[in-house]
Amino acid sequence: EAGVVQSPRYKIIEKKQPVAFWCNPISGHNTLYWYRQNLGQGPELLIRYENEEAVDDSQLPKDRFSAERLKGVDSTLKIQPAELGDSAVYLCASSFGGRGYTFGSGTRLTVV
Amino acid sequence: GENVEQHPSTLSVQEGDSAVIKCTYSDSASNYFPWYKQELGKRPQLIIDIRSNVGEKKDQRIAVTLNKTAKHFSLHITETQPEDSAVYFCAASRNDYKLSFGAGTTVTVRA
């Protein structure tokens, strides 16, 4: 089993540019999560999907962040425009009904 | 929302000694408490978890204890080895879905 697959692993962009991250969850996992992990801190939930529906996006900065999970499988998280403070590791995770919670390796974003 | 505090932020132990990390949580409705190990540049990996209907759980050299009344839980690693060096995160959840993480503890095992 491939696990949760994320791409790219690293991304460096200039501020005000757009950026997108992609996540493919474990096959059969209906719940998908996007977390942000700032340096030296624990991950913080940005958004949770149940199949294709976003059921918890209270922590997502909606003025510049957007996400989608078309067809209820893989997902894309977008930032437009990026700010210096968005530099972090963006982690995707998936589970089946809350069980088997598994994280991907993350995308390390650096905004310069 | 849930607030999880974790102590200490760094921990250095001699190989073979024990390591203890403590966490407190604020939401009395939280009922699931996992612990994750994250090596540098890698994904967080679940090492042990406990639910609120259990006071203690053990898996080889790792154990977790939970005190619901005091709202705190702890991770115990015995007979530490160099490969135990990593950042450890505690988390709490009321419904298995949204995990609220502590700030992490960097554990260094000295050979």
| B83 and chain A in contact, CB less than 8 A | no
Q: B69 CA to chain A: closest CA distance, Å?
A: 25
Residues in chain B: 111
Q: Do A42 and B89 touch (CB under 8 A)?
A: yes
- Which chain B residue's Cα is nearest to A41? B103
- Which chain B residue's Cα is nearest to A45? B98
pLDDT in tens, A68-97: 998 889 999 999 999 999 999 999 999 998
The tokens describing A71, both together, are: 């067809």
pLDDT in tens, B4-26: 999 999 999 999 999 999 999 99
Amino acid occupying residue A6: Q
Spatial contact of A88 and A37, defined as CB atoms under 8 Å apart: yes
pLDDT confidence band for B52 (50 / 70 / 90):
confident
Indicate the DSSP class of residue B83.
G
Of A35, A12, A42, nearest to A104 by C-alpha is A35
- The predicted model gives B84-96 an average pLDDT of 93
Strands A53-56 and A44-50 come out as: antiparallel
Residue position matching structure tokens 């998936």:
A94
How many angstroms separate the CA atoms of A50 and A30, rounded?
A: 6
pLDDT < 70 positions in chain A: 1
Q: B111 CA to chain A: closest CA distance, Å?
A: 24
Residues whose CB is less than 8 angstroms from the CB of residue B24 and which lie 6 or more positions away in sequence, other chains included: B4, B5, B70, B71, B72
